[in-house]
Amino acid sequence: MRKKIVAGNWKMYLNAEEAQTLVSELTSRCRNIIPASVEVILAPSFVHLCSIHQQIQNEPGFFLCAQNLHEAIQGAYTGEVSASMLKSVGCTHVIIGHSERRQYFGEKDALLANKTNQALNHNLIPIFCIGETLETREAGDTFSLIKNQLTEELFHLSAEEIKLVIIAYEPVWAIGTGKTASPEQAQEVHAFIRELLSEKYGADLSNNISLLYGGSVNPGNAQALFACKDIDGALVGGASLKATDFTEIIKAR
Footprint on residues 3-62 left by ligand PEP (CB under 6 A): 9
Residue nearest to ligand PEP (CB): 237
CA dist., res. 115 & res. 170, Å (int): 19
Segment 191-194 long-range contacts (CB within 8 Å, at least 24 positions apart): 191/229, 191/230, 192/143, 192/146, 193/130, 193/146, 193/150, 193/167, 193/169, 193/230, 194/230
Least distance (Å) from ligand PEP to the CB of residue 69?
16
Phi-psi map region of 123: left, alpha, beta (phi>0 left; psi -120 to 50 alpha): left
Regarding 130 and contact with ligand PEP (CB under 6 A), the answer is: no
Question: Applying CB under 6 A, which of residues 39, 71, 170, 245 lies at the interface with ligand PEP?
Answer: 170
Regarding 97 and contact with ligand PEP (CB under 6 A), the answer is: no
Regarding 237 and contact with ligand PEP (CB under 6 A), the answer is: yes
185, 186, 203, 182: which is closest to 194 by C-alpha?
203
Footprint on residues 185-224 left by ligand PEP (CB under 6 A): 214-217
Q: Which is nearer to ligand PEP, 13 or 143 (CB)?
A: 13
Neighbouring C-alpha atoms within 13 Å toward the C-beta of 175: 25
Least distance (Å) from ligand PEP to the CB of residue 166?
13
* CA atoms 32, 37, 38, 43: torsion sign: positive
Among the listed ranges 59-67, 145-153, 187-195, 232-240, the one in contact with ligand PEP (CB under 6 A) is: 232-240
Positions touching ligand PEP (CB under 6 A) are 9, 170, 175-176, 214-217, 235-239
